[in-house]
Structure 1
């Protein structure tokens, strides 16, 4: 509906701006022209009215001094000129004298102001005439009653001046509007030239132009900031595309490895059963199937997290129960010494996700520990803190953030051999941040890796709780 409603409006910023500027200036000029014409007309009429009033005052003075019979008609005719008219009306309405012989019989006014008053008005034409006049009627006391002195000035000069002014405005305003439109179009086109250059550049960017950037004007204005924002967006898109590329490549590689092992083992057991023990082949296939299942599960979790955030079934969770359960699982393997310092800690979150995060951290420690894994759980400053340390090779300071990236291995061959996929720590951080916490890496006292999972403790009763922005609840 909105598109249909404004379909008539010009398209294109340059054209719309030019039209809008021209319309605004046209309305302003039209209003100013109307006001100018009205003001000029009023001033001219006022000037002629003053002239007629002065002429009438002169005759009124003569009548007051010597009476109506003492008025010099010849002097009156000479004083008013050809564009004016004078009549002196007796108390009974008879024309006593007039400056124009055509008006010696009929009065040009019916107004009868009292002595000492003056009436001013305009008429479109006098009796028998065709020109507009302004008429001033003054009342003068006399022994026989009120004598009226009528002076009239022709408004023909006003009409001519108004016509000339309107004609000039009718010619000038369109010319001004043409100049305004041309100037607006030129200025807007000049201002939008960098935007058009950005548009053309962006339109020419293809998937092959990973390093393509738009030119940034040196003006330092809004357009320059737009270009900088576009370049930042292109950089983010490039980083996202490269990350997706790496993710797909790594996922394909990780999926291909167990599949290749399963296929090779199956083919060898089928074609050369004497060379492959059945139980050993089944064990290899089962192990690779478990690895494949774990990898697919991790990929699905990350994909869902990227699209909608983690789906959280929020409840009170005894974090110490999860930790002690995982400790028991590690001890059951019997390969490492596990030192424990765990206190009772309850948090709010998704029990399955928290179990997965703790298990990933535990498995990471077991994978690289030489002899000992240390597990500590407690609280600090309103936060639940789980510290898991090992006496393995540790993680260099420059790699402590990179280990949380997907499919990152600090030693590819070693981690593949121990069954890692390079997704465990990435998933752990996703889960921690979905719960409002985080995961950090330090160096343990034994020189190995020290990973710390921190989670917020439940708020006191009555306090408002807000879910983390990255989590979706159900």
Structure 2
């Protein structure tokens, strides 16, 4: 049942929930204040009655000391004060006119030291038998001790408090309702800009991510929310543009080998008698290999864009380097020097790291003149992998741009060089996913690609 109520309440509007919460808080505050007010006023009025009774008792006691009191004592001007003078035997020596002929009505003793302690008594044969506040004061002489009892009714106090309580019981709900209504109006006005932002955001579609929300002039939470949403839209716009560009570049790159394969096969199919399959087969195999590498690169980029969780485990990076160097030697006649490869262990995905080393070796072999050097060492808790070639090198202005997708420098722009412009982009994404860094240095001649990864 509680879960259903919670779920129902969670589906209500924010404006309703805020107004209801404010109403509950206001009601609790006003109710608490009303209770405290009634309690304080009751204590104050009772204290005033106690002081009135005590003063009257002291006056009577002083009169007894001078012998000026007869058996009948006058009541107050309103006639609502009850007075009895009791001797040590418990007999009534004197009483106010409204208690004439009554037996002893007060039985508690007077305090012998300190201030008298007033008490609440009931059952006096006066009025409607309500509650009275009574006080006892010692009087008389030592041979003839007396006790003066004075009582005043609490009916007036009870009546006034009842009227006040009734008034508060009517006024508090009215005030709570008014304040809750004001809260409803103010909350609606405060949430109006939020609704405007929601309406603007609802109008933005995937094809219109260049639009932005109106930022309120005040530098408050709502303004910061609008700024954050605009930043989110900017990132989505950039990601969408990058994705569209990636799709266009990928389609353009795939079109070239596919067109070449299709053209050669169509020519061979139309002229089967003159087709030289032995001459044509190597070209077809080369185009198919190029297409396979391109598709493989695109698959890797798609996996990296999906941000998969890398399988983090201790990996011997030197073993991966040796394995990839052996494979690279089978593909190129270049000299690949691995003598400077030392032991290095990192925490990461072995397959992704192998792909990184393979791409670095492919890039170096594509541009090297006759030699590729590979070095691996650990310095200050960082594994540093260096792949250097003796080719034309990379201009300093282009050393950051080559890590972008489908980027080819002017000296290596021809597709027949074998590159798709994705290898170093994959290296950058994999290294970044392993919390490492990659950059390019001058090898004089050639380029030196440096990868740094946290050592395990």
Q: TM-score if structure 2 supplies the norm length?
A: 0.84
Alpha carbons 1:80, 1:86 under 8 Å: kept: no
1:427-457 Cα shifts (integer Å, max 9, x gaps):
22234345554321244424x5x14132448
Question: Is the contact between residue 361 and residue 388 of structure 1 (CA under 8 Å) also seen in structure 2?
Answer: no
Structure 1 gaps of 5+ residues are 459-464, 466-474
- CA distance in structure 1 between the aligned counterparts of 2:351 and 2:56, rounded to whole angstroms: 109
User: Is 1:325 aligned to residue 326 of structure 2?
Assistant: yes
Q: Which residue of 1 aligns with 2:35?
A: 34
Query: 1:196-239 deviations in whole A, cap 9, x for unaligned?
Result: 22222222211111212222222222222222221111111112
Matches within 5 A, 1:249-398: 249-307=248-306, 308-311=308-311, 314-318=314-318, 321-322=322-323, 325=326, 328-329=329-330, 332=333, 342-348=339-345, 353-368=352-367, 371-375=369-373, 377=375, 379=377, 381-382=379-380, 383-392=383-392, 394-398=393-397
Q: How does 1:426-465 map to 2 (within 5 A)?
A: 426-446=425-445, 450-456=447-453, 458=455, 465=456
Give the match's secondary structure for 1:203. helix
Contact 1:114 1:146 in 2 (8 A): no
> In the alignment, is the contact (CA less than 8 A) between 2:344 and 2:378 conserved in 1?
no
Distance change (3 Å), C-alpha of 1:2 and 1:226: farther
Matches within 5 A, 1:163-242: 163-242=162-241
Between 124-133 and 26-35, report the one with greater CA deviation.
124-133
CA distance in 2, matches of 1:323, 1:151: 111
Please tell me whether residue 24 in structure 1 is matched to residue 25 in structure 2: yes
C-alpha displacement of 1:162: 0.9
Normalising by structure 1, what TM-score? 0.81
User: Is the contact made by 1:116 and 1:141 (CA closer than 8 Å) also made in structure 2?
Assistant: no
1:140 aligns with 2:139: yes
Q: CA deviation at 1:38?
A: 1.3
Deviation track 1:282-316 (CA, whole Å, cap 9, x = no partner) reads: 22332222222222222222223333144467432
In the alignment of these two chains, the number of paired residues is: 447
Aligned-partner Cα distance in 2 for 1:188–1:418: 66
1:81 Cα offset (Å) = 3.7
Within the alignment, does 1:89 sit opposite 2:86 as a pair?
A: yes
| Residue 99 of structure 2 is aligned to residue 106 of structure 1 | no
Who is 1:122 aligned against?
A: 120
Distance of 1:269 and 1:120 partners within structure 2: 124
**CA distance in 1: counterparts of 2:454 and 2:148, whole angstroms:** 104
Measure, in 1, the Cα distance between the counterparts of 2:364 and 2:235. Answer: 34
Could you say what the CA RMSD is over the residues aligned between the two structures, in angstroms? Answer: 3.4
Kept in 1, the 8 Å contact 2:268–2:275? The answer is yes
Q: Tell me which moved more, 291-300 or 354-363.
A: 354-363
SS at match of 1:111: coil
Question: For the residues of structure 2 that align with 1:436 and 1:452, how far apart are their CA atoms?
Answer: 17
| Alpha-carbon distance in 2 for matches of 1:267, 1:2 | 74
Structure 2 CA distance for aligned equivalents of residues 347 and 433 of structure 1: 18
Unpaired segments ≥5 residues, structure 2 = none
